[in-house]
Structure 1
């Protein structure tokens, strides 16, 4: 499967809304299920100039996205948070890997970011493996972090430093 990564364009809002309308994408992220296309249109239009929204394109269709959000506080200018989702029917096909590799390259080689950080649901072992395979390490657990399907669930805080300290992949 040939995957192309590019920066999101204004016209991608409908495809991004479709990704997050799917059950696994909604449950695996902090997004509210079933948001309108207009919400995503406004988000893309209102993104801060330092934010980056990457999309994965397969056969001309946007099938995944990753937000790279540098922290605006000058004391944390070396840090960015990430969040991503892939269309439910395409999990396990390398799309998340392609998005993450592109974001890491951008962070390390173009944006001079030292630290990438994220939260991942404690029961999402596939995503945790993906992040670990790209140098992210577990830093702690947030108990009862978010409401999902009517239950409070834990998340793990993970981060990646560049260059990685000795002993870290």
Structure 2
């Protein structure tokens, strides 16, 4: 199966909502269970200029979502952060890889971004492995970062810095 990536559209709200209704998607992100359709309709209808939202499709079904936000602070316009979710039954099928590859291409070749950063729960081994496969490194850890499943959970701060990649390759 080939994963197709495209920009999200307002009419994708119901399908994106379905992604974040999945246990792994809301548990592994800062989303809450039972998202409202109205909130997703609003988010996908009013995407700010500094935000890029993508969906991943398998056999014409939307199974993944990624949002990239470029920092608006003048001194951090070379930086973007992102978050993503994949439907539970489609994890480990290349959906996250396809979404991440799309965003890395956009960052490196079209937006002139130097740094991509994210937070990931320390127990999300699959996601950490995916990010490391794409040259992200763990820069630090925040303990009790977010409340999840009735307790506080820690996250890693990870980043991919474009110039360091070229230095590593040439070394």
Please give the TM-score of this superposition, normalised by the length of structure 1.
0.97
How well do the aligned residues superpose, as a CA RMSD in angstroms?
1.3
Q: Secondary structure at the match of 1:167?
A: helix
Deviation, 1:163, is 2.9
Deviation, 1:46, is 1.9
Alpha-carbon distance between aligned partners in 2 of 1:142 and 1:65, rounded to the nearest angstrom: 25
Name structure 1 gaps, 5 residues minimum: none
Deviation, 1:14, is 0.3
Query: In the TM superposition, what whole-angstrom CA distance separates every residue of 1:86-138 from its partner, at most 9, and x where no partner exists?
Result: 00011100000000000000000000100000000000011001000001000
Alpha-carbon distance between aligned partners in 1 of 2:130 and 2:5, rounded to the nearest angstrom: 17
Q: How many residues align?
A: 169
Please give the TM-score of this superposition, normalised by the length of structure 2.
0.96
Alpha-carbon distance between aligned partners in 2 of 1:121 and 1:99, rounded to the nearest angstrom: 19
- 1:72 is aligned to 72
Q: Secondary structure at the match of 2:168?
A: coil
- 1:118 is aligned to 118
Name structure 2 gaps, 5 residues minimum: none
Contact 1:13 1:40 in 2 (8 A): yes
Alpha-carbon distance between aligned partners in 2 of 1:117 and 1:29, rounded to the nearest angstrom: 14
